[in-house]
Every structure is written in C-alpha cells, then in structure tokens.
Amino acid sequence: MSGGSGGATRLDWLAGEGGPLRGELSVPGDKSVSHRAVMLGALAEGVTRVTGFLEGEDTRATAAIFARLGVRIEAPGPGERQMHGVGLHGLRPAEGPLDCGNAGTGMRLLAGVLAGQGFDSTLVGDASLSRRPMNRVVDPLRRMGARIDTAPGGLPPLTIHGNNVLQGIDFELPVASAQVKSAVLLAGLYARGETRVREPHPTRDYTERMLAAFGWPIRFSPGQAVLSGGHRLRAAEVAVPADFSSAAFFLVAASVVPGSDLRLRRVGMNPRRTGLLQALQAMGADITVEPAGEQGGEPVADLRVRHARLRGIEVPEAWVPDMIDEFPALFAAAALAEGRTVVSGAAELRVKESDRIAAMATALRSLGARIDETPDGAVIEGGRLHGGEADSLGDHRIAMSLAIAAQRASGEVRIRDCANVATSFPGFVGLAAGAGFGLREAAAR
C-alpha cells in the first residue's frame, strides 16, 4: 500500500552509476523549525517574518491549516512567509477537516494547540499518517482536560473538542519524543498553572527555544521544560537554518562514493539533531565541521565531506534520539561499510512514516545486502549491492536513502513510489544529480 501523500501521483526513480559527488550546495530549510515558526507566528501578536521556510508539502500543509483557521499568511518569495498573527485566542473555526498530509509533526503539535481553542476541529492525514499512533499525544492532553476522539486504536482522524478548561500537568514522557513534548507544551500555553515535561532522553528543543524567542517565559534544560499559561506571544523574525536531516543524505553519499569532495553550506547543527555526524565519524568518515555562526538562534556550520572507507559500528543507544530521522541513511552507509553495524534501542523507527526498520531491511536485501531485523533495530553486514528494484513504501527518507545505496550498486536500481520526497526535500533529484548522483525520475510502472 502506498503511504504517499494523497497517493495520486506515483513516481519512480532510476538510480545508480553516479560519478563522484563534488561542489558546494545548500539544502532546504529545517522541517521542524518551519512547522513551529508557522504555528507560533500564527498565535503571536504582530507580524512574524520567516525566511528559509521549507517549501515542502508537510510544512505547507501546516501553513494551509492556519490560513483556514483565519490567519493571513503572505508568501512574498520562495522560502518567505509573513504571518499576521491573531494572538493566542484569535483562531477561528474552519469548515470541514484540517488536512495534515503526511506530517506527524503537524498533526501532533496541532493537537496541542487545538486542545486550547473555543471550537471543535478535526485533523486528518494521508494513508501513512492515518496509520501512526496518536495516543502518545492524546493521553497527556486528556489528562490536561482536553476532549479528543480518535479512530479505533488511537489512530487519526482526531476530533478535538473546544471549550475545555485545561490544567497544567507534570508529565514524564514514556518515549523520547519531541512531538509529544511539544504538543504538551503548546497545550500548556492555554492551561491553568504550570506545565512540566520530562524526557527519558533529551530530544530536539526547538519548541522551547522558539517560545522563548517569541517572549513566552519558559525554563528548559536538556530533558526538561517548564512553562505556565496566561502569557502572550510576540511576533518575531525567524531565520530557518538548513535541515541537517536533508544534509545527512549528502554526508552519507559523499562518504560512500569514491572521489567525492562535497561542501554543504550553513547546515543547522543543533546538537539534538547531529547524532549521525557522530556515528559516521565513528565509522571512519572524513567530515570537517567549519562553524559559521548562528542562524535563527541555532548554530550553523559548513560541512566538508570526502570519500572514506567506512567500518561498521555498534551504535550506542544514547545516540538514537539525536539521529532518529537519519537511520535509513545510516542503514545505507552500513550496507556499504566493512564489517557489521548493530542498531538497537530504536523501536520508534517502526512508527515513522513507514516501519523504517522493515522498509530498509527489505529494500536493501532486495539489492543483495545481509540484514537481520530485531524488534528495536537491525544487524547489518556490510558488503556489495547489486541492481534491481526496491520499494520506498512512499516514505521520503527511505527513497532518498535507497538513492544513496544505489550509487554504489553494480547495476541500476528502480526505486518505487518516490513522490513523497516532496514532503521534506523538494528539488532533491535536481540537487543530487547536479552534485553527481546518478538519479532521474521515471514514470511508475
């Protein structure tokens, strides 16, 4: 079954026979930061200007939802948004369901925002999002006083009833999830008293940092955040840094393709995002980090990556949350490395846009890799890959990771169902081909 957004367009890629990757490139804006910039800009007082906004389907879906909730949003140019904030209590009800597309971040964070409104809303998503667990946000929000209906099994659609008095909560997250943490904190803006969130492992802290930048009093440190309701958000300027998760595909590709020497400009280096860098360096990658100051309150750096012989490693479980979106790319690196790579403590991968452990194991096996799945990870024996056909299951990160693996396969690889790459990385094929990837689009068979 396709998890692709809307499932309307089916697109395959033909990948392989790439040359060395060379030159300099900039990847698009950060998805997590772009979602949050739209949300806080909508709820702030005044005009928020966003630059570097990710023009992907996920983040555009979030912006379209706020437009339907009565927020005027202008797009003066690509990657630019002017959000005419309506204040914390200025959203208006929309007719019909609000479509989050493929975006788990959109749906989960919106659940927190909408729980605090004076009207009812229904959140829907595409086939993939409709299979993803929502009780992780619904349970704490209900404990705060929200009334939310789900489909059986805690799946979308979510109907979020308005006109509830929310109470602050002291919530210990059962899984490390920035989305759950953020949903609870956003509901906390509307709650009486203090909302406190504790995490088993620290996760990305963009919500906390951006709330502070929008003038909301908040205390946070790795693994913990505390705020109280009853304040105001003030419009801000948000300069979205380039997405480390998008840069990750090039870090791996240039590492595995002989002769490569690639520079990635001004990549967001929030330490809660850069676990893959650590993992690749432990595998022997040749990556130089040249700090380039800050952008939008986030550290950014130019990254120079050259081909290197990679060795398999055991990925420490403590690194998992800092590289949660990068495992598909790591699996591709591991399949081409010398020796064995062991991933554990990563069961969350099974509830992403696809079951990413099963998706990568099946796809790489069909190209000749030796991989054993475990419930919370995989054991990957590095070696050679051959050409053939592999299915991305409509998951953007699986598609791009298979495109990397294909660069070192001995024959061409048809990667199925790739249209969904537009959710997070519009223009990937052009940028990758320009850097030297053997990669082109093909009509689905």
H-helix or E-strand containing 280?
A: helix 275-282
Residue 204 to residue 208: CA distance in whole angstroms: 9
SS (H, E, C) 304-354: EEECCCCECCECCHHHHHHHHHHHHHHHHHHHHCECEEEECCCHHHHHCCC
| Closest approach of ligand S3P to the CB of residue 424, in Å | 8
**CB-based contact 112:184 (threshold 8 Å):** yes
Counting runs of H as helices and runs of E as strands, what totals does the chain give? 12, 23
Is the CB of 225 or the CB of 308 nearer to ligand S3P? 225
Pair 300, 271: CB distance under 8 Å: no
Interface residue with ligand S3P, options 12, 99, 325, 395 (CB under 6 A): 325
What SS3 class is residue 50? strand
Q: Is 286 a catalytic residue?
A: no
Q: Is 348 in the site for ligand S3P (CB under 6 A)?
A: yes
Task: Give the Cα separation of 70 and 94 in Å (integer).
Answer: 8
Q: Which residue lies nearest ligand S3P, judged by its C-beta?
A: 32
d(CA 78, CA 73): 13
The nearest distance, CB 349 to ligand S3P, in angstroms, is: 9
Beta carbon of residue 33, minimum distance to ligand S3P (angstroms, whole number): 8
Q: With contacts defined by CB under 6 A, how many residues of the chain interact with ligand S3P? A: 11
Per-residue x/- track, 172-201, ligand S3P (CB under 6 A): -----xxx--x-------------------
117 vs 245, beta carbon nearer ligand S3P: 245
User: How are strands ordered across the β-sheet holding 413-416?
Assistant: 388-391, 413-416, 11-15, 439-443
* Contact letters for ligand S3P, residues 18-37 (x by CB under 6 A): --------------x-----
102 makes contact with ligand S3P (CB under 6 A): no
Residues 260-289 contacting ligand S3P, CB under 6 A: none
Contact status: 354 vs ligand S3P (CB under 6 A): no
Nearer to ligand S3P, 324 or 429 (CB): 324
Collapsing DSSP states into helix, strand and coil, what is residue 1? coil
Task: Out of 48, 105, 341, 354, name the contact with ligand S3P by CB under 6 A.
Answer: 105
Cα angle 174, 178, 180; round to 5: 55
Q: How far is the CB of 260 from ligand S3P (least distance, A)?
A: 26
CB of 54: closest distance to ligand S3P in angstroms? 11
Looking at 12, 325, 395, 417, which residue is catalytic?
325
Q: How far is CA 410 from CA 2, 15, 257, 378, 386, in A?
A: 28, 11, 13, 24, 5
- How far apart CA 199 and CA 48 sit, in angstroms, is 30
Per CB under 6 A, which of residues 356..415 are in contact with ligand S3P? none
Nearer to ligand S3P, 114 or 413 (CB): 114
Which residue's CB is nearer to ligand S3P, number 133 or number 339? 133
Beta-bridge partner residues of 82: 49, 74
Q: Establish if 324 lies at the interface with ligand S3P (CB under 6 A).
A: yes
To the nearest whole angstrom, how small is the minimum distance from the Cβ of residue 324 to ligand S3P? 5
DSSP state of 175: S
Yes or no: say if 224 and 198 are a contact pair by the CB < 8 Å rule: yes
Query: Is residue 100 within the footprint of ligand S3P (CB under 6 A)?
Result: no
Amino acid at residue number 82: Q
Of the pair 332, 413, the CB lying nearest ligand S3P is at: 332
Closer Cβ to ligand S3P, 16 or 112, answer by number = 112
Report in angstroms how near the CB of residue 180 gets to ligand S3P at its nearest.
Answer: 6
Binders of ligand S3P in range 194-233 (CB under 6 A) = 203-204
Nearer to ligand S3P, 196 or 204 (CB): 204
The letter for the amino acid at 403 is A
Q: Does residue 193 come out as left (phi exceeding 0), alpha (psi in the -120 to 50 range) or beta?
A: left
* Residue whose tokens read 């929310």: 166
Residues designated catalytic: 325
Q: Which residues bind ligand S3P (CB under 6 A)?
A: 32, 105, 177-179, 182, 203-204, 324-325, 348
